[in-house]
Structure 1
Amino acid sequence: MAEFVLSERQGAVGIVTLNRPQVLNAWNAAMRDELTAALTAMEEDAAVRAIILTGAGDRAFGAGQDLNETKTFDPDRAEQWIGEWERLYDRIRSLSKPIIAALNGVAAGSAFQVALLCDLRVGHPGVTMGQPEINSGIASTTGPWIMREIIGLARTIDLTLTGRMMDADECHHIGVINRLVPQDKVMSESLALAELLASKPPVAMRLDRQRFREMTEEGFRDSLAAGARIQREAYASGEPARMMEQFLARKAAAKKG
């Protein structure tokens, strides 16, 4: 039974919820695996014609990687980690059904990437999105690939190297958030949009998504090969572990303060 991912269906729309709200829905290996399985179940359910992905609670769609997991990695585990992301990202990219990200709060790092892999994104004032991985000593590989596809190279360089987060207005202005609505309307707007997409001819929908995948496949595979190579080098240096320990220590001190 899934612990970190919840699934339900409303009519023709499947709703998948990341469910680690106590850590802002940060990823660990179990949640990645459960999400892959949940999306596979939605893909195989003929009654589901569109999917919504969201996060539990009102603070975060997802805070990115759980550093308590990655701070212990060695080079071999880091390469295995890239394989885990490959399986999840492949699952999202190969869906025959449209998928919408219903954003609630922060979408950072790999959660930002997952939101960008969705077809459309609905957010609210207060959403922040970005690629802050450099701040915790994680080199970005899949992030720059998907960001360049969506927002171009100049913004990709900015977000990757500064680690800054974009507010909802900036995200909407550059097309990262497709619909900007009040926070209490995010799910209803996402459901309306999902129902619209679910009403479209399914073969055309499948073929359109297939073509988007084909257009971006070469860059995706390159980012994964680079990820295995770069993460091995990064973790062999010891820098990620040091930076993550410092980041977690600052976070703990801020909570106490």
Structure 2
Amino acid sequence: MSNPDKLIVVERRGAVGVIRLNRPDKLNAWTVAMRSDIMAAMKAFETDADVRAVVLTGTGERAFCAGQDLGEAHGFNADDSEVWIRGWGVFYTVLRSFPKPLVMALNGIAAGSAFQACLMGDVRVAHAGVRMGQPEINSGIASITGPWIMNLMLGMSRTIELTLTGRLMDADEAHRLGLVHHIVPQHEVLERAVEIADELGMKPPVALRLDKARFREMSEPSFLETIEAAVRAHRKSYDSNEPQRMVEAFYKARGGALPAADVNA
């Protein structure tokens, strides 16, 4: 069961560790503190010899994660944005460098930074109601890391279309494009993800670890360049005050409530 006092819930299912984002009232939008907790949990599972694989999922039925909680970015300036982006670089590095199988159980929307993060897992399980994509442009936020990983997986043409429209794909489209590997009934998402993680965890561990390390090496130079490009782009973006104006517009339109995340859900 979910504990509302915790940003994440961590459990074991046999040899599989499960990390559950736990802000369902905010569509599991993540904050710096939540990402810190996730990284700590992943480090603990990495060093636990009894855990052979990990599943990352969300609490509730509406969202895996709706992206960054924009309330946390309220009032950012250019200097703040650089610290913010470098923090994302650390978080994504933890996901990319995790040496054990990492399965994403998508129990709802996965947008913006959450879309990027789920693409850094090894296998993705979803249900028909899942939507995913890169809607940052709708909030006046430059999208740099998302296009990097989409281009690796989809090619430039589809990456441009998804980035500039900010639209969310449904599960069928994401499956056709290869971004989602398995579509199952909603109530079976976590069960199937744990089953897949358990199967992967039974693979020869040295070979699996070396394969994953090589996958990371293949894209590491472009990943590091992308983080630097994101720092530059966000400094220019926040210097222009466009993201700040967009957040304030949402704030006023919603009667003083800051948007929960970087998606208009």
For structure 1, the residue ranges without an aligned partner over 5 or more in a row are none
Provide the rounded CA distance (Å) in 1 between the counterparts of 2:12 and 2:114.
22
Structure 1 residue 206, shift from structure 2 partner: 0.4
Give the corresponding residue for 1:34.
37
CA contact (8 A) 1:147 1:156 kept: yes
Question: Superposition pairs for residues 62-211 of structure 1, below 5 Å?
Answer: 62-211=65-214
Provide the rounded CA distance (Å) in 1 between the counterparts of 2:256 and 2:15.
46
CA contact (8 A) 1:32 1:84 kept: no
Provide the rounded CA distance (Å) in 2 between the counterparts of 1:165 and 1:208.
31
Provide the rounded CA distance (Å) in 2 between the counterparts of 1:150 and 1:41.
30
Provide the rounded CA distance (Å) in 2 between the counterparts of 1:224 and 1:81.
11
Task: Indicate the SS of the match to 2:9.
Answer: strand
Structure 1 residue 251, shift from structure 2 partner: 4.5
1:246 correspondence with 2:241: no
90-99 or 242-251: bigger deviation: 242-251
> Which amino acid letter does the alignment assign opposite residue 14 of structure 1?
G
Provide the rounded CA distance (Å) in 2 between the counterparts of 1:230 and 1:20.
29
Give the corresponding residue for 1:224.
227
Provide the rounded CA distance (Å) in 2 between the counterparts of 1:225 and 1:26.
24
Give the corresponding residue for 1:59.
62
Give the corresponding residue for 1:235.
238
1:4 aligned residue (4, 7, 18):
7
Provide the rounded CA distance (Å) in 2 between the counterparts of 1:252 and 1:165.
25
Distance 1:249 1:150, change over 3 A: farther
- 1:168-208: CA deviation from partner (whole Å, max 9, x where unpaired): 11011111110001101111111111111011000011001
Q: CA RMSD in A?
A: 1.4
> Which amino acid letter does the alignment assign opposite residue 38 of structure 1?
A
CA contact (8 A) 1:61 1:107 kept: yes
CA contact (8 A) 1:120 1:178 kept: yes
- Report the TM-score, using the length of structure 1 for normalisation: 0.95
CA contact (8 A) 1:103 1:123 kept: yes
Provide the rounded CA distance (Å) in 2 between the counterparts of 1:225 and 1:195.
36
> Which amino acid letter does the alignment assign opposite residue 246 of structure 2?
M
Task: Indicate the SS of the match to 1:211.
Answer: helix
- 1:3-50: CA deviation from partner (whole Å, max 9, x where unpaired): 311111111100001111110011211111111111111111111111
Identity %: 54
